[in-house]
């Protein structure tokens, strides 16, 4: 019978308090910061030199290299292949310097705690298999936040309890998804809610959260675009969105937006009264495209996991294609033009050495972004837009809740 004694888990800047292993199912548990608890199912295990855990039959050791984001758990006895449970109690810090991992910012005399886990910052919050090709379900609870603040995560609130002006939340379990998509935000938010009619006629409640000091104009724009984009995307991919659709307009964010499944984060747009005419119109159009871009990820990247350059290329294609419809532009924005003139071979070459998520995240810049779109445009040019849409629908049928690599994608589309 096959067996193992080592399990590898990603965990960077996380203080490990204790671990235990039992032969049931795999699930690391987190309970800091903000008194949060996270469960990730379907995990593996690796070495730490530590005395045996009194609550288990097996000794657990640990040895975490300072520079290597790998937690190794080793047992004195080999683990028989089968189901097991890994329980890890730990603490993680809230980032006060930059919007990565779990981070804090202050806006209009209010405190906000928000997350950004793409591409590999989930490991700074809790030990996990922090690569985009791994998927798991997550159960999150956040405890003892000020009762006047709102707390938003990927899924609906399962239960909440308020005592002494502090509220604790337990959220529904997430669908099977990549760790970088887990998210929450806590802060002084106002909210607007409307029902949006999907492609099949069903209603989806859309919630737009925004800082309480704002007048809500940005939220109105997000709602207006979502009303149009959601049915367009559902019809294009022939898949009805089953996740809740929340947008959280945050005071601080890494980049302009993040497609957390069920709760998209958007950076609060800067206000510049001097911008007028074409310059302001271009900025407004870009914000519309950003909303489409992040919502489109619900289908690819989220529902169908794939390498970053594929999901970002598809998102840019969708933001242009459906941006043309929503903004009333001539239908040319998604076609090949001089600024995206890379061939498919040239575009693939940009990513040839970036097979690891960590490497790819570091070099994802303007050039690689353009190459991502060029790759998609070159395929669309080869097969035709109508045929490409049919292939995207086939992708949804074959790879929903699964990982699709680059070879799978190219073979499907050509």
* CB of 196 closer than 8 Å to CB of 243: no
Rg of the Cα atoms in the chain: 22
pLDDT at residue 88, rounded to an integer: 86
Is residue 129 domain-resident? Answer: no
**Banded pLDDT at 171 (limits 50, 70, 90):** very high
Q: Among the three residues 92, 107, 130, which one is the final residue of a domain in this structure? A: 92
**Banded pLDDT at 50 (limits 50, 70, 90):** very low
Is residue 80 domain-resident? Answer: yes
C-alpha 361/C-alpha 120 separation (Å) is: 8
* CB of 414 closer than 8 Å to CB of 383: yes
* CB of 35 closer than 8 Å to CB of 147: no
DSSP 8-state symbol, 148: T
Indicate the number of domains in the chain. 2
Which range among 98-102, 165-169, 290-294, 330-334 shows the weakest confidence by mean pLDDT? Answer: 330-334
Domain that holds residue 341: 308-413
Ranked by mean pLDDT, which of 29-33, 256-260, 307-311 comes out on top?
256-260
Is residue 213 domain-resident? Answer: no
C-alpha 65/C-alpha 77 separation (Å) is: 23
Cα 185 → chain centroid = 13
pLDDT in tens, 257-309: 999 999 999 998 877 666 677 888 888 899 999 999 999 999 999 999 998 88
Q: Among the three residues 92, 112, 133, which one is the final residue of a domain in this structure? A: 92
Q: What is the mean pLDDT of residues 389-398?
A: 98
Burial of residue 272, with CB atoms counted within 10 A of its CB: 0-12 exposed, 13-18 middle, 19 or more buried: exposed
Helix, strand and coil content of the chain, in percent to the nearest 5, comes to 30, 30, 40
Q: Tell me the pairing of strands 110-116 and 184-187.
A: antiparallel
* pLDDT over 70, % of the chain: 73
Which stretches within 238-365 are classed as H helix?
Answer: 277-296, 308-327, 344-350, 357-363
**Banded pLDDT at 353 (limits 50, 70, 90):** very low
Is residue 257 domain-resident? Answer: no
What is the rounded average pLDDT for all residues in the chain? 81
CB atoms within 10 A of CB 343: 12
Is residue 244 domain-resident? Answer: no
Is residue 372 domain-resident? Answer: yes
What are the structure tokens assigned to 371, written together? 């190459």
Q: Among the three residues 28, 62, 92, which one is the final residue of a domain in this structure? A: 92
Is residue 191 domain-resident? Answer: no
**Banded pLDDT at 82 (limits 50, 70, 90):** confident
DSSP 8-state symbol, 64: -
Q: What is the mean pLDDT of residues 232-237?
A: 98
CB proximity list for 355: less than 8 A, separation 6 or greater: none
pLDDT in tens, 133-151: 999 999 999 999 999 999 9
- Reduced to 3 states (helix: H, G, I; strand: E, B; else coil), residue 401 is coil
Determine the length of the chain: 414
Is residue 339 domain-resident? Answer: yes
pLDDT at residue 330, rounded to an integer: 87
* CB of 394 closer than 8 Å to CB of 237: no
C-alpha 219/C-alpha 207 separation (Å) is: 9
pLDDT at residue 40, rounded to an integer: 46
Q: What is the mean pLDDT of residues 373-383?
A: 91
pLDDT at residue 48, rounded to an integer: 34
């Amino acid at each position: 019978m096959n067996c193992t004694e080592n399990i590898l888990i990603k965990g960077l800047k996380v203080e490990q308090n204790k671990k235990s292993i039992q032969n049931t199912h795999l699930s690391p548990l987190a309970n800091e910061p903000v008194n949060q608890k996270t469960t990730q199912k379907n995990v593996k295990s690796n070495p730490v030199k530590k005395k045996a855990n009194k609550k288990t039959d097996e000794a657990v050791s640990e040895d975490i290299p300072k520079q290597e984001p790998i937690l190794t758990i080793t047992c004195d006895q080999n683990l028989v292949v089968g189901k097991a449970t890994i329980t890890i109690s730990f603490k993680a810090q809230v980032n006060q310097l930059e919007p990565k991992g779990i981070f804090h910012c202050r806006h209009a005399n209010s405190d906000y705690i928000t997350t950004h886990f793409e591409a590999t910052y989930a490991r700074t919050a809790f030990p996990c298999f922090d690569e985009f090709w791994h998927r798991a379900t997550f159960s999150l609870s956040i405890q003892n936040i000020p009762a006047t603040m709102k707390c938003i995560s990927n899924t609906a609130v399962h239960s909440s309890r308020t005592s002494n002006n502090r509220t604790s939340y337990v959220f529904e379990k997430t669908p099977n998804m990549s760790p970088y998509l887990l998210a929450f935000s806590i802060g002084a938010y106002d909210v607007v809610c409307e029902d949006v009619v999907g492609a099949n006629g069903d209603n989806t409640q859309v919630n737009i959260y925004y800082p309480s000091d704002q007048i809500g104009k940005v939220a109105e724009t997000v709602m207006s675009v979502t009303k149009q984009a959601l049915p367009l995307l559902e019809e294009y991919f022939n898949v009805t969105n089953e996740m809740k659709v929340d947008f959280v307009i945050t005071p601080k964010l890494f980049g302009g937006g993040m497609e957390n499944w069920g709760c998209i984060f958007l950076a609060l747009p800067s206000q510049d009264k001097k911008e007028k005419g074409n310059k302001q119109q271009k900025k407004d159009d870009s914000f519309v495209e950003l909303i489409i871009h992040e919502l489109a990820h619900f289908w690819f990247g989220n529902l169908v996991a794939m390498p970053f350059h594929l999901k970002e290329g598809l998102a840019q294609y969708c933001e242009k294609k459906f941006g043309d419809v929503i903004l009333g532009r001539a239908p040319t924005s998604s076609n090949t033009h001089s600024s995206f003139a890379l061939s498919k071979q040239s575009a693939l070459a940009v990513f040839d050495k970036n097979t690891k998520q960590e490497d790819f995240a570091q070099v994802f810049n303007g050039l690689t972004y353009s190459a991502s779109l060029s790759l998609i445009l070159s395929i669309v040019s080869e097969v035709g837009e109508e045929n490409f849409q049919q292939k995207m629908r086939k992708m949804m049928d074959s790879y929903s809740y699964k990982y699709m690599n680059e070879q799978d994608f190219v073979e499907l589309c050509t």
